[in-house]
Amino acid sequence: MININYMSRTPVYEQIIEQIENFVLVGVYKSGDKLPSVRSLSIELSINPNTIQKAYSELDRKGITSSVPGRGSFVSDNALGILKENNRSRLDELMGLLSKLVIAGVSYAEIISCVDDAFKYCTDKAE
Amino acid sequence: MININYMSRTPVYEQIIEQIENFVLVGVYKSGDKLPSVRSLSIELSINPNTIQKAYSELDRKGITSSVPGRGSFVSDNALGILKENNRSRLDELMGLLSKLVIAGVSYAEIISCVDDAFKYCTDKAE
DNA sequence: CTAACTGTAACATGACAAGTAGTACAGTTG
DNA sequence: CAACTGTACTACTTGTCATGTTACAGTTAG
């Protein structure tokens, strides 16, 4: 389910965080769902348990999940809300990328077509 | 002229590369222009000459610049073409970011407004 | 030619992040 | 009780980044 790219510069634990957050955003994980345990996921991905735990504790800190010793890690009630608010603030990131593309000579129509595709593709998932 | 952010995760030498590439894209540096020397830039930015050299040699490797011992580093003839082609291939990066924003509930109108702003801002610089 | 500049190369060093390895503790569940 | 769960801690290895330093060779202006 989770896919790790070892060639990437972004640390493994951050890749795990990002993918779990995406699962929550898309609806694969819903509030109350149980995440795979630290040990089972570490075996599945052939990654040291400490790396998984680092990801999980960071998710806890963000309020995305809630971990209980002995029981497991669970998706928080307001996880979706937190993530949506976080992603919303990425609009400036979008501006930076757009500027580069414009300077590179990418046409207005091409970019609009990308935007349309993104909306077409996610139209049913975005409430 | 060049601005280094020491808090950033991206290495200093990559920040230098990116900013010089931007100068070429925007037209501050044109083909044949001479870049500041390794030593002068290292003094200006209070950075070790080796770090500057790492950036310059990478720019050479990409074909953006052409360095000659004793003379200096100069912007290549096809630098602009190489950079435009590179940036053009970032359209998938745009798709990824757009998907996240859409899932986060950002409206179509908001995104289109961003695109318009980007074009308005860069309209005179994009040939 | 000389002096002052240029890029290039090589080495040692320190700092830091990431990941691994191993062990241990405490809570939960069946 | 046994098997699971998350958590904590230390030690170690690795890779990258940046610095400090020295040296060499080519170019240019005086």
Series of mean pLDDT values for 10-residue runs along chain A (127 residues): 91 95 94 97 95 96 96 96 92 91 91 93 57
pLDDT at A124 (0 to 100): 55
pLDDT at B127 (0 to 100): 45
Q: Is the Cβ pair A112, B108 closer than 8 Å?
A: no
pLDDT band for position B123 (50/70/90)?
Answer: low
B60 touches strand C (CB under 7 A): yes
How far is C-alpha A1 from the chain's CA centre? 13
B11 touches strand D (CB under 7 A): yes
Query: Can you tell me the mean pLDDT for B60-74?
Result: 96
DSSP three-state, residue B66 = strand
Query: Can you tell me the mean pLDDT for B39-59?
Result: 96
Whole-number Cα distances in Å, B94 to A74, A110, B127: 31, 11, 21
Q: Is the pTM of this model over 0.75?
A: yes
- Domains of chain A, by residue range, sit at 12-82, 90-122
Tens digit of each residue's pLDDT (9 = 90 or more) over B37-48: 999 999 999 999
pLDDT band for position B126 (50/70/90)?
Answer: very low
Q: Is the Cβ pair A105, B127 closer than 8 Å?
A: yes
pLDDT at B1 (0 to 100): 86
Which two tokens mark B41? Answer: 């830039």
| 8 Å CB contact between A95 and B114 | yes
pLDDT at A123 (0 to 100): 63
Residue among A4, A76, A94, A8 at smallest CA distance from A45: A4
DSSP three-state, residue B3 = coil
pLDDT at A11 (0 to 100): 93
Q: Please report, rounded to whole angstroms, the spatial distance between the CA atom of protein residue B68 and the C1' atom of nucleotide C4.
A: 17
B34 touches strand C (CB under 7 A): no
Q: Which helix (H) or strand (E) holds A20?
A: helix A12-26
**Mean of the per-residue pLDDT values for chain B?**
92
Q: Is the Cβ pair B114, A94 closer than 8 Å?
A: yes
- Return the nearest residue to D26, CA–C1': B70
Tell whether domain A12-82 is in CATH 1.10.10.10.
yes
Chain B residues in contact with chain A using a Cβ-Cβ cutoff of 8 Å: 22, 25-26, 83-84, 86-88, 90-91, 93-95, 97-106, 108, 110-112, 114-115, 117-119, 121-122, 125-127
Q: Is the Cβ pair B104, A112 closer than 8 Å?
A: no
Which of chain C's bases lie under 7 Å from a protein CB? 5-11, 17-23, 26-29
